Amino acid sequence: MTVPSSERWALILGASVGIGAAIAEVIAEDPALKVLGFHRGNHPEEAQALVDLIRSRGGEITLCEKNAGDPETIESCVEIVKEYIPAGGIKLFVHSLSGASLGHFLKYDNVAESDQLATWQFEKTFNYLAHSFPYWARSLHEASLLAPEARLLGLTNALEHQMLHNCGLIAAAKAALEMYVRYLSTELGRYGHRVNLLRFGSVLTPALTKMLGPEAVREFEDVHKKLLAAGRTCKAEEVARMVALLTREDTAWFNGATIDFTGGLTQRLLDVVYSPDWLA
């Protein structure tokens, strides 16, 4: 079904802070797209600030407080979507959900029992980072909400091909997400839609900054100055601009692709493996 251009929407999951918020802000600059976002309500002040900012610039955005990564609530989320977006109205769907657990699979040496991953953490991490993507894609398709040649985009990082300390569960979930994208690109491709995965490098988001603390942030930035030719980390706005680029008609041939937007980070991570003294 074709809807008027004034009724084309971008649906963004995880849109209150960080990468999701940056994507919402940039996408809302397009007068042809309205933004509907979901967030869990963990950052209400930031979510309201985002809404106020976008509306002050003339953009259209609605944020809904709902857990979009829980399989038990996705169908109710889709019912909310239908209240705002007509059939055939979603031009862009962005999956920017977080909710992963860090830890080790085994308890050994100096690994504390609290650092060993529990069964519920496996389930939660895979639901948020991986399973929720095909659940949403299927639900939006079955509800006829996707516009002709809709773009469905997952977000990932370099961890699914590298090893980093206690990030094994995240890496496994992101690897599963990549396979979901490949298969969905074939199945939804039959209907003219495009499904891709954007792999971006390290971004110093507010959440990561808070988690690391000032001293670790400085170390984080120093390491990336040496890791990357650009001499800095990626910016959230740069990721958002790339997402906006992928909505253009001249990028329609991308399908089932994992697009490397790491600034060369994946190449330098290999240096760490083969040249342990590379920082010296």
For residue range 83-124, what is the model confidence (pLDDT) as tens digits? 999 999 999 999 999 888 888 888 877 767 778 999 999 999
Least confident residue range of 12-21, 149-158, 196-205? 196-205
Q: Has residue 109 been placed in a domain?
A: yes
Residue 142 lies inside a defined structural domain of this protein: yes
Asked whether residue 35 is domain-assigned, the answer is: yes
- Please indicate, yes or no, if residue 210 is contained in any of the structural domains: no
- Has residue 215 been placed in a domain? no
**pLDDT over threshold 70, residue 47:** yes
The enclosing domain of 36 has a CATH number of 3.40.50.720
- Tell me which of 33-37, 57-61, 100-104, 250-254 is least confident: 100-104
Q: Is residue 261 part of a domain?
A: yes
Residue 219 belongs to some domain of the structure: no
Give 117-144 pLDDT, tens digit per residue.
Answer: 999 999 999 999 999 999 999 999 999 9
pLDDT above 90 for 243: yes
- Residue 91 domain-assigned? yes
Query: What domain range is 21 assigned to?
Result: 5-203+236-265
What are the structure tokens assigned to 18, written together? Answer: 């960080």
- Residues of the chain above pLDDT 90, percent: 66
279 band by pLDDT with thresholds 50, 70 and 90: very low
Domain count for the chain:
1
Q: Which residues pair with 35 in a beta bridge?
A: 10, 61
Inter-residue contact 69 to 128 (CB < 8 Å): yes
Quick one: which of 163, 167, 197, 160 has its CA closest to 182? 197
What does pTM read for this prediction? Answer: 0.90
